[in-house]
A and B are shown apart, each in its own frame.
Chain A
């Protein structure tokens, strides 16, 4: 549905581009998890899709047609639920929905039906007469989502939709996102919560410094962790452990935990046998699968970004 080809963008007076050669795809009925530290280029990418930024280099295609053409003809095919509470705090829930429904060119019966459906979908029926400024964080997030869904978009971008909500609202929102995808829309979901992406994304793109570092299904990405071992051992002095593990690959010590990236010609079984031979008692050992957070941190490194 969405195809981004070699997209690059540099803001006026910026020292370096915000996006460099970004290519990705998002399909109908699928959730694309977009990960990246602050300043990675996510907002620039979303701004392109929401029509705020024009393409400088590369192409963005919707079903093969340039995004600009699609937006001109039917801007509501693509919706954005921004990170901010992008509605009018002094208006009630219903007034906000009416305002944005009209802005999205919904009218008459369809407008009334969509407002009812979106209220039901976000479970906001009980709050229609409440001013948006008086809603809790979770309800505000739900309203933000409901507004985005009003024109029945084919592609929806959800920018950190669970920031500042309680676990119940978060679970509800994640289920809602899955339902949106199941109904046939293409969903791009950005978040800093790796467990959310792991829970709902069919495909994950890791973006940093304006470039795509990884793009694949969760299985494909986490399979990279097959060469990593984490273990804690008793009964062997640290210097001896370090020397032993060093023969099997690259070693890192974090507290009592040893992290080993195995060399190509070494196996976990050999390493564990060597530890036992040295008299070490294993407290725990993990092997075979990274989690998304480890992969993300390994790829983007630890320095603060802002």
Chain B
């Protein structure tokens, strides 16, 4: 019985050309367009990113550096002792580590080769934000070093020495003295995982978005069945509600699986051919990826079933499905990256199932998380799916009566 109903569902799907186009083409086109469009022009605000500071230097220049950084980026998170875990999990965007000889080396004419200032970013920090922070770090350090060298030069004016006199005559430090602090600065991402390119960011986002698009397709078929009396007929033949629900859920789970495979393939193989960056799946935890995909799929199917049970007409389903999807995407950080949203919106994003899915996908694809790393978003999605399915069953029975 179940197999026959599943077969019916597949046949209905295959013959719904528009629905299929929306399921497969739409997210693929979104990935391509958005990834290419945002490749170079992504210019996020880095001001609101949460960060930690570990200052091992008691010198004045370290304090000056931190004061300048705070002026530009606000205060660091109070609890910075466990910054490593928090950065790895993406709770902090980055940590600044000032080594104990920072002040001395920054002011030295010939600093040593050891790195004195480190920025360690979370694995999923957007490339543009990472680059912008890196540039700012160098700029502030250079400025402090220039002032320090100038100050030293003024000192040497009072205690003349050959080299200092030369520097003063030319109006600049000694040519053999490096002005840039670049050699002292190191910026890196915490994990050895994939480099977060536009593709690496966009594929998870639009994949989650595309998977939720089964909502419109499933809801419309459901309403068609209800309106023509086929569902009533199935019920009068004694088909249990649970079988009806599963006969819908299982084919769409397969559809979501196909969508995921297609979207990942677009990222891995098609994007490089189009001149974009390739999606890297190297070293990811496949079990965690499967868990997140399954949870996203269940949430999408649950939402579709609930929506289909709540609305009465095709028109309602056609309008409401995409609206709910787009709203969840807009709120959930799919259309607009969460980190550039105002704080209130960032809080709101945490209530969007798409955001849970996106966080789970980013954890796997960018932070190299394993099962435990995606357990929370997966649990949220499964919980959401359960609630939606309960709503669907209750309203399905109520509508039937």
Contacts and interface: CB of A to CB of B under 8 A. Distances in A.
A105 B1 contact: yes
A79 B236 CA distance: 7
Interface in A66-107: 71, 75-76, 78-80, 82-91, 95, 98-105
A52 interface: yes
A91 B228 contact: no
Given A50-B232, A75-B238, A90 B16 contact: yes
B401 A99 contact: no
A53 B399 CA distance: 11
Interface string A115-130: 0000000000000000
Contacts of B4: 98-99, 101-103
B228 A87 contact: yes
Interface in B217-262: 224-225, 227-230, 232-239
B234 A103 contact: yes
A86 B400 CA distance: 15
Interface stretch (B6-14, B42-50, B291-299, B312-320): B6-14
B279 to A, nearest CB: 35
Interface in B1-44: 1, 3-5, 7-8, 11-12, 15-16
Given A90-B12, A99-B8, A82 B233 contact: yes
A180 interface: no
A88 B8 contact: yes
Contacts, number: 87
A102 B1 contact: yes
Contacts of B235: 50-52
A88 B5 contact: no
Contacts of A86: 228-230, 232-233
B15 to A, nearest CB: 4
Contacts of B227: 84
Contacts of B237: 75-76, 100, 103-105, 151
Given A53-B401, A75-B236, A102-B1, A84 B229 contact: yes
A131 B237 CA distance: 23
A4 interface: no
B273 to A, nearest CB: 36
A71 B239 CA distance: 11
A22 B196 CA distance: 72
A82 B239 contact: no
Nearest to B16: A90
A106 to B, nearest CB: 9
Contact of B236 (A50, A85, A88, A99): A50
A90 B15 contact: yes
B130 to A, nearest CB: 50
A88 B225 contact: yes
A278 to B, nearest CB: 59
A6 to B, nearest CB: 21
B23 to A, nearest CB: 16
Contacts of B11: 88, 90-91, 95
Interface in A138-169: 147, 151
Given A52-B400, A99-B7, A103-B237, A91 B12 contact: yes
B230 A51 contact: no
Contacts of A131: 15
Contacts of A100: 233-234, 237
Given A76-B237, A88-B12, A90-B11, A102 B232 contact: no
Contact of A103 (B5, B16, B224): B5
Contacts of B238: 51, 71, 75-76, 104-105
Interface string B358-401: 00000000000000000000000000000000000000000011
B68 to A, nearest CB: 66
Nearest to A75: B238
B11 to A, nearest CB: 6
Interface string A19-58: 0000000000000000000000000000000111110000
A87 B234 CA distance: 10
Contacts of A85: 228-229
A251 to B, nearest CB: 47
Contacts of A51: 235-236, 238
Nearest to A150: B237
Given A76-B238, A103-B239, A91 B8 contact: yes
Nearest to B7: A99
A55 to B, nearest CB: 12
A147 B3 CA distance: 18
28 contacts: A50-B236, A51-B238, A52-B235, A53-B401, A75-B236, A75-B237, A76-B237, A76-B238, A82-B229, A82-B233, A83-B229, A86-B229, A86-B230, A86-B232, A87-B233, A88-B12, A88-B225, A91-B11, A91-B12, A95-B7, A99-B5, A99-B7, A102-B1, A102-B4, A103-B233, A105-B237, A105-B238, A131-B15
Interface of A: 50-54, 71, 75-76, 78-80, 82-91, 95, 98-105, 131, 147, 151
Given A87-B233, A98-B4, A104-B238, 19 more contacts: A50-B235, A51-B235, A54-B401, A71-B238, A76-B238, A80-B232, A82-B232, A83-B229, A84-B229, A86-B230, A86-B232, A87-B230, A88-B11, A91-B12, A99-B4, A103-B233, A103-B234, A103-B237, A105-B238
- List the 6 closest A-B pairs by CB distance, nearest first: A75-B238, A102-B4, A86-B229, A84-B229, A50-B236, A90-B15
